[in-house]
Chains A and B, each alone.
Chain A
């Protein structure tokens, strides 16, 4: 039962991951299912950078751990 619950939770996490990427990137939800794990990580990283740039945040203006 514990295993089934964990499998269900992991399934939901992947679907949420794909749905988030599709909504924020405007890419096709179906197409994103063909992405590998590494491609999703890279895609997500690039998307985050793009969103920051769109909001006018330059990489040099980001608050990093070293500045705190």
Chain B
């Protein structure tokens, strides 16, 4: 029996604010999800003031600890935070916002028309949650040379790592500019940053590949061989892999909203920005 079940104060624990269906339905996790109900839903708890304040800490947001801590506290049935597939992350963030601040989410967008009019509107988060799609299978990516690549969605660890490295490289370049480095030195730094970003990006893509099926039906599952192959891919081929993996993140929830410009009356599509810095603001 777990500690929670023995605790006489259990009845007074924080109550789940909402139950949601995860797009992955618990697939792709290394540790199985606890507390899945008969409908395949998991409980999501509202944020406490402690959680809210952590989301206001720029360092914690940048290094990913704010997101990890938030999910740990608000979605306790997920034990393997780093292994959460990105297709579930958006659904989880929307559910935490809904459980904490209610169903209305105010946002504004700018129309591409000449006046760049800003239109403000309210998004109903319940409607977004009810439209969460379950991902039954991920089709293999077919490369131009007939190779089939079987992948799983990128996970939070890779995503946060990539974000952090991008930020670090940008900061290094800014510092170099401020310190008045010579053009040659700056160029060296830019090249080094580019290499680091490229290698991290290749590693993230390679990590998502489960197996590669060659035209002669040979299957390659050796991680190091797959990484080496990904490193040697031509730019368009690698981009195809990368874009296919990134597009998986959009399968779970519909973040597109139709907006009518208040000035030119033109309808355009806006995307809900789930960046935690602004989404929970």
Residues in A lying within 8 Å of B, measured CB to CB? 3-4, 6-8, 10-11, 14-15, 17-18, 32-38, 40
Q: Which residues of A contact B48 (CB under 8 A)?
A: 33-36
Q: Are B100 and A33 in contact (CB under 8 A)?
A: no
Q: Which of B45-65 touch A at CB < 8 Å?
A: 46-50, 52-53, 56-58
Q: Which residues of A contact B17 (CB under 8 A)?
A: 36
Q: Which residues of A contact B102 (CB under 8 A)?
A: 38
Interface membership of B277, Cβ < 8 A: yes
B49 contacts which of A3, A6, A33 (Cβ < 8 Å)? A33
Interface membership of B167, Cβ < 8 A: no
Known: A36-B46, A36-B48. 14 other contacts (CB 8 A): A3-B58, A7-B58, A8-B56, A11-B56, A11-B57, A14-B49, A15-B53, A33-B49, A35-B48, A35-B49, A37-B47, A37-B52, A37-B100, A37-B101
The contact sample of 7 A-B pairs, CB cut-off 8 A, is A7-B277, A35-B49, A36-B17, A36-B48, A36-B49, A37-B49, A37-B52
Given A3-B277, A7-B277, check contact A34 B49 (CB 8 Å). yes
Interface membership of B281, Cβ < 8 A: yes
Q: How many residues of B contact A (CB 8 A)?
A: 17
Interface membership of B235, Cβ < 8 A: no
Q: Are B47 and A36 in contact (CB under 8 A)?
A: yes
Given A3-B277, A4-B58, A36-B100, check contact A11 B50 (CB 8 Å). no
Q: Which residues of A contact B58 (CB under 8 A)?
A: 3-4, 7
Residue interface bits B100-112, CB-to-A below 8 A is 1, else 0: 1110000000000
Q: Are A10 and B281 in contact (CB under 8 A)?
A: yes
Q: Are B100 and A14 in contact (CB under 8 A)?
A: no
Given A3-B277, A7-B277, check contact A14 B46 (CB 8 Å). no
Closest-CB distance, A44 to chain B (whole angstroms) = 12
Q: Are B46 and A7 in contact (CB under 8 A)?
A: no
Cα A19 to Cα B58 in complex, Å, equals 23
Interface membership of B14, Cβ < 8 A: yes
Q: Which residues of A contact B47 (CB under 8 A)?
A: 36-37
Q: Are B277 and A14 in contact (CB under 8 A)?
A: no
Closest to B277 in A: A3
Cα A6 to Cα B49 in complex, Å, equals 17
